[in-house]
Amino acid sequence: MQLVTTDGTTWEDARKHCQQHEGGDLVSITSKAKWDFIMKNFRNVGRVGIGLKDKKWMTGESFENIFGITFQLNDYDGAYPSEVDNTCGVLVPLSKNKLQDENCNLRPMQKFLCEIDI
């Protein structure tokens, strides 16, 4: 897993970065073990982009709350109500709603997690 920090990028550009530079994709948190690893190692990084879009992980699997956490995946980003692509996932470890969706294009991501294929 690689934490990437930028001046700000779109979700799509973050995904391209993971694919082109890290040889993987934005992280898909599809197991409790992976969730626990991320929460242990990246708990204090703040808001970070992950591989969740339209309630599906980059692996193609649908999001299921196997983590027993509170989340807010409501297809809405209040800061940009006119934008139609509001379903890109972010992890906010210290928030009540640890998984959230927000605008994919207009809200720049400063950090994102790449999952590297080995």
pLDDT tens track for 36-68: 999 999 988 989 999 999 999 999 999 888 778
> pTM of the prediction?
0.87
Sorted by where each starts, the structural domains of the chain and their CATH numbers stand as 2-116 (3.10.100.10)
Predicted local confidence at residue 48, as pLDDT: 94
Residue 90 and residue 48: Cα distance in Å, rounded?
5
Tens of pLDDT along 6-33?
A: 998 999 999 999 999 878 999 999 998 9
Alpha carbons within 13 A on the beta-carbon side of 69: 23
What whole-number distance in Å separates Cα of residue 51 and Cα of residue 16?
A: 11
For 60-79, letters b (16+ CB in 10 Å) and e give: eeebeeebeeebebeeebee
Average pLDDT over residues 85-112: 87
Provide the pLDDT for residue 6.
92
pLDDT on residue 70: 79
Q: How confident is the model at residue 3 (pLDDT cuts 50, 70, 90)?
A: very high
Q: Is 102 helix (H, G, I), strand (E, B) or coil?
A: strand
